[in-house]
Amino acid sequence: MKPLVLITPSFERGRLIVRREYLQALQEGGLLPWPISIEGIEEVESYCQQAQGLVLSGGGDVDPIYYHQQPHAALGEVDPERDRLDFAVLAQALQRKMPVLAICRGLQVLNIARGGTLIQDIPRQKPSALRHQQKSPRWHKSHNIDIVERSQLHQIYRNGTGQVNSFHHQAIDRLGKGLQAVAHSADGIVEAIEGQGESFIMAVQWHPEDLFRNDQEAKALFRLFAEACKQYKRCIFSQNGEA
């Protein structure tokens, strides 16, 4: 059976929303995506007992109370239910050493969970920065990134550079514990982070699911995550004495 991978949804006007691009990218990578119900917050442990991976998807701003700051004037809309779900399921996944792929908002949640902080609004707090909220289609690449050598991401971007799309007004400020910044844009904004332990933790500030159809690096990123989930599943099954 394919590894079962949890994916966090957005909650908008009474509806749970998971963009189909996430589902398609995961399915084509050989995974079975399983959106978590926000109403099922109390069952997070049960979800994680059955899963072999976690995707923290994109979405709105995280409440700055989680990193001990007051809200900036340019802070966007926050969703307390979404925040509560994301941090709860991430805590379970990290405790179980489950593979984690965090995208855009997901990167920010991961950084905060490890004690890091955010730039609450790039245009106002970093006025010399590049435009990180592109006005072009989601499949269009809007700026370059530089990748750190000897990182997992460098296995994909072997020449040390790449191009990505960009739909965020927040970014990492102080990096969380046990994390390494492995990609930056030309203005110094952190574009990707990885965990420093044995388990697979990859987080990107861009949206590879929107590049997936025509971008080999985006495909390779999901394949790398899929292989980590398959390896995790084999390990769990071996520990449980299953075939």
* Residue 56 reports pLDDT greater than 80: yes
User: Considering only CA atoms, which of 41, 42, 73, 56 is closest in space to residue 9?
Assistant: 56
Q: Is 207 a catalytic residue?
A: yes
H runs (alpha helix) in 69-168 = 80-95, 105-113, 122-125
- The model carries a pTM of 0.95
Q: Is 229 a catalytic residue?
A: no
Task: For residues 216-227, give the mean pLDDT.
Answer: 97
Structural element, H or E, at residue 171: strand 171-172
- Among candidate residues 132, 143, 168, 207, the one labeled active-site is 207
Mean pLDDT (the chain, rounded): 94
Least confident of 38-42, 81-85, 150-154: 38-42
pLDDT band per the 50, 70, 90 thresholds, residue 147: very high
- Among candidate residues 21, 191, 194, 209, the one labeled active-site is 209
Token match 């957005």: residue?
10
Exposure of 222 in the CB half-sphere (CA atoms within 13 A): 25
CA pair distance 106, 98, nearest whole angstrom: 15
Residue 207: other Cβ atoms inside 10 A:
23
- Among candidate residues 21, 104, 169, 194, the one labeled active-site is 104
* Residue 240 reports pLDDT greater than 90: no
pLDDT band per the 50, 70, 90 thresholds, residue 243: very low
Give pLDDT, residue 12: 78
Q: Which amino acid is at 86?
A: D
Q: Is 209 a catalytic residue?
A: yes
CA pair distance 29, 113, nearest whole angstrom: 27
Indicate the fold that domain 4-239 takes in CATH: Rossmann fold (3.40.50)
Domain ranges of the chain: 4-239
Q: Token digits for 175?
A: 């990096």
